[in-house]
Amino acid sequence: MPSKDGFETLKELKENERTKNIPVIVVTAVEDAENIAKVRKLGAEKIINKNDLDKTDFIELAKKYL
C-alpha cells in the first residue's frame, strides 16, 4: 500500500461507521509481539502469519466471518 500501511488502513476501517463491523483477517509476515498487540487493539478478528498460511484453512476461516 503506497500511501498508508496496514495499521492505518485497519484503524480507518474500524473508525468508519459504514465499515467498522466488517471482520478483518490480517495476513502478515510480522511476528513481533508489539505489532501483533497493535493489530489486535485496532480490532482485527484474526491474525495469520504468511509463513503458516494454508490456503484451505484460510478459505474455511474466511467463510466463518462471511
The CATH number assigned to the domain holding 61 equals 3.40.50.2300
Residue 24 belongs to a domain: yes
Cα(58)–Cα(32) distance, integer angstroms: 21
- Within a domain: 15: yes
H or E, element range at 28:
strand 25-28
Q: State the DSSP code for 21.
A: T
Q: Is residue 46 part of a domain?
A: yes
Question: Is position 22 within any domain?
Answer: yes
For residues 13 and 20, the answer to whether their CB atoms sit within 8 Å is yes
Domain count of the chain?
1
> What are φ and ψ of residue 35, in 5° steps?
-70, -35
pLDDT for 64 beyond 60:
yes
pTM of this prediction? 0.81
The pLDDT mean for the chain works out to 92
Residue 1 is assigned to a structural domain of this protein: no
Strand 25-28 and strand 46-49: the pairing is parallel
pLDDT digits (tens, 9 = 90+) for 9-41: 999 999 999 999 999 999 999 889 999 999 999
Domain hosting residue 49, numbered range: 6-65
In a domain, 49, yes or no: yes
